[in-house]
């Protein structure tokens, strides 16, 4: 897969629609995704229990995104005049949900599981526009990994990019070298589905 050039057209389109946003997430990659297109980002880090609650994978990831935005809305930092988004991302493969690896060993095991297979990345957002109630939305993208050797996996784990990344890789860094193809929005794989947000905002305003 070719490296993604930033900012791409989707990031610039989002920035023209949303020049300023509150991001209720501790993810530096979501922040960089927005800033690369020109959006000014203010960060609020919600303190929540990220226990996986729900009957389906969609329910689980949407529940976590809901808890994040509700934590912001209930906080003293809440500013009703600005758009806010919270997000959560999980990877689904063979009926198993993968979150962030607990260490390098778990990261290597995740990458070995993903090698040569198709995974589904689930990214949910909690989004609130000024003067409107919040909504929780979800997007999916299929990611096909190339066949990885043990040395490929060891080399990638050594970069440190696995840490804090759902599925143990970061697409927008050197993780793109692990990927053969993406069916869907690449920003959904990064963890913040910009096309979904653009379409929602345009319908709401």
Query: Residue 167 and residue 29: Cα distance in Å, rounded?
Result: 14
Query: Residue 192 and residue 138: Cα distance in Å, rounded?
Result: 10
For 99-123, letters b (16+ CB in 10 Å) and e give: bbbeeeeebbebbebbbeeebebbb
All residues at 6 or more sequence positions from 75 whose CB lies less than 8 Å from its CB, including other chains: 44, 46
The pairs formed by 45-50 with CB atoms below 8 angstroms and a separation of 24 or more are 46/71, 46/72, 46/75, 46/86, 47/71, 50/88
Active site residues: 88
């Amino acid at each position: 897969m070719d490296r993604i050039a930033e900012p791409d057209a989707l990031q610039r389109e989002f920035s023209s629609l949303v020049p300023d946003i509150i991001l209720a997430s501790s993810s530096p990659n979501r922040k960089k995704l927005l800033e690369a297109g020109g959006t000014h980002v203010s960060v609020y880090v919600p303190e929540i229990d990220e226990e996986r609650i729900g009957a389906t994978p969609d329910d689980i990831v949407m529940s976590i995104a809901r808890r994040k935005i509700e934590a912001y809305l209930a906080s003293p930092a809440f500013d009703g005049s600005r758009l806010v988004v919270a997000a959560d991302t999980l990877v689904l493969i063979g009926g198993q949900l993968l979150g962030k690896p607990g260490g390098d060993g778990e990261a290597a095991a995740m990458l070995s599981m993903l090698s040569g297979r198709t995974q589904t990345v689930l990214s949910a957002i909690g989004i609130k526009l000024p003067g409107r109630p919040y909504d929780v939305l979800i997007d999916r993208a299929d990611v096909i990994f190339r066949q990885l050797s043990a040395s490929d996996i060891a080399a990638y784990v050594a970069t440190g990019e696995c840490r804090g990344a759902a599925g143990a890789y970061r697409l927008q860094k050197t993780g793109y070298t692990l990927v053969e193809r993406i069916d869907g929005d690449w920003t959904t794989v990064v963890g913040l589905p910009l096309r979904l947000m653009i379409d929602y905002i345009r319908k709401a305003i």
